[in-house]
Amino acid sequence: MYSAVFAQHKVYGAEVFGVTLPQNFERTIGLNDYATLQFESKSPKPNAYGFLIFEHKDELKLAEANLDIIDYTLNSIEPYTIREGFNYIKKPYIAYERGFNYAYTEFETNDTELGHIYFLQTVIETKDYIYQIIQYCGYNEKEIMKSDFVNIVNSFKVDE
Amino acid sequence: MKFKFLVITAFFLASITNAQSSLVGAESFSVNLPAGYSRAVGTNDYATVQWQNEEMHSYGFVIIENLDELKISGVSSDLQSYMDICISNYSGFPQFKSFAPKLFKNKKGQENFQKQISYYNEELESTVYLQFNIFKSKNFIYQIVNFGNEDFLKVSKENTDYIINNVVLPQ
């Protein structure tokens, strides 16, 4: 047993990360069961919501998932693409910002049950993790809320 | 007077602009796995990290929750209360049994609350044994679950103890 104890290896569960929410946003729960971090707007801002999910790249390798950031984006928005009225506003594109790879996409869905919704989805690739941030609001509020959504994405920070 | 009003207005606007809140999404933690264990997927959909030893049919995972989220849910972050919530997900299963819990510090001096349970899994047609250890840091609560088949609590005890004693969490 002596050798078993020493022949070990370390698996990392998470890294220190955070976002800064603009005024009239707060942490919330109940948007997505897999989310590590969830938030919503408060009055007087229009209703807007967002959540963040992260995965270790080693888990993606084990699941034989493609690590390409665009493929990851397409895969993660797949549940939305089958909704009625799905339409890309901006197809996924890559940017290199603040030391990380980012992939952005904007789309809308429009069905009788949930109404007309605008989505901004961002995938961020750090050295060991992939993060996805999905933010959404009523389609008519997108011009008002988009700057807050972008500010939240830009505030994403990993502590080394 | 007009200038004073402008300065006050400017100060007020600056205060509004700065009314932001920083949310901690996660903190760095790691699990040291004994020989024969490796990172895995598929043991629990909500887990942040998972592992397995296929030869010993021994598995485990960690679920983390931010303490602020527990406050919003009105859920106590007390180790024992949180354990009760974790266990309640299994208490409805056939032949559910729970064993005496214990509160202790692991070898790194981190306090945790431990409880072992078992139940009959009809799909697998066998009894499953699970060990829950609940740890708490300044911002997060950690649910560390090790589980396996009927021999798990005996055969994997040394390895499970090793995992619990060597988990590295922020204080």
From chain B, pick out residues whose CB is under 8 angstroms from the CB of A133. Answer: none
pLDDT tens for B66-89 read 999 999 999 999 999 999 999 999
Q: Of A3, A28, A56, which has the smallest distance from its Cβ to B49's Cβ? A: A56
- For residue B3, pLDDT over 50 is answered with no
Residue B43 lies in a domain: no
- Look at chain B and report how many structural domains it folds into: 1
Q: Is the dihedral of CA A56, A61, A65, A66 positive or negative?
A: positive
Read off the pTM. 0.88
| pLDDT mean over A101-121 | 96
Please identify which residue in the block is written with the tokens 């949180």.
B82
CATH number for the domain formed by residue range(s) A17-158: 3.40.1000.10
| Ramachandran angles phi, psi of B104, nearest 5° | -155, 165
Q: Which of A84, A113, A68 is nearest to A76 (CA)?
A: A68
- Of residues B31, B61, B83, the one with CA closest to residue B147: B61
Structure ipTM: 0.86
- A26-42 pLDDT, tens digit per residue, is 999 999 999 999 999 99
Check residue A125 and give left, alpha or beta (phi > 0: left; psi -120 to 50: alpha).
beta
Instruction: Return the CATH number at B57.
Output: 3.40.1000.10
- Nearest by Cα to B155 from B129, B120, B133, B117: B129
Are A24 and A44 spatial neighbours (Cβ–Cβ below 8 Å)? yes
What tens digit of pLDDT does each residue of B90-138 get?
999 999 999 999 999 999 999 999 999 999 999 989 999 999 999 999 9
Determine which of B15, B28, B108 to mutate to test the interface with A (most A C-beta atoms within 10 Å): B28
Helix or strand run (H / E) with residue A25: strand A25-27
User: Looking at the domain assignment, is residue B106 inside a domain?
Assistant: yes
> Are the C-beta atoms of residues B132 and B86 closer than 8 Å to each other?
yes
Residues of A in contact with B54 (CB under 8 A): none
Rounded CA gap, B120 and A24, in Å? 48
* Spatial contact of B72 and B30, defined as CB atoms under 8 Å apart: no
Tell me which residue of A60, A27, A41 sits closest to A132, measured CA to CA.
A60
Q: How much is the average pLDDT of B31-53?
A: 94
A155 vs A19, A58, A91, CA distance in Å?
5, 25, 23
Give residue B153's pLDDT.
80
Q: Which two tokens stand for residue A108?
A: 């809308």
Cα(B64)–Cα(A26) distance, rounded to whole angstroms? 20
CA torsion through residues A21, A26, A31, A35, sign: positive
Contacts of B158 in chain A (CB under 8 A): 1, 4
**For B37, which residue in chain A has the nearest alpha carbon?**
A8
The boundaries of the domain holding residue B125 are 48-171
Helices of type H across chain B? 2-17, 67-73, 79-88, 152-155, 157-165
Provide the chain B residues 44-83 that lie in CB contact (below 8 A) with chain A.
45-46, 48-51, 62, 64, 66, 68-69, 72-73
With a CB cutoff of 8 Å and minimum separation 6, the contacts of A143 are none
Q: What are phi and psi of B70, to 5 degrees?
A: -65, -40
Question: pLDDT tens digits for B5-23?
Answer: 444 444 444 444 457 899 9
Taking alpha carbons only, the member of B56, B62, B64, B18 closest to residue B37 is B56
Looking at residue A81, the DSSP 8-state letter turns out to be H
The two tokens of residue B45 are 């959909």
pLDDT, position A3: 43
Place of tokens 């998470």: A14
- Taking an 8 Å cut-off on Cβ atoms, the answer to whether A21 and B158 are in contact is no
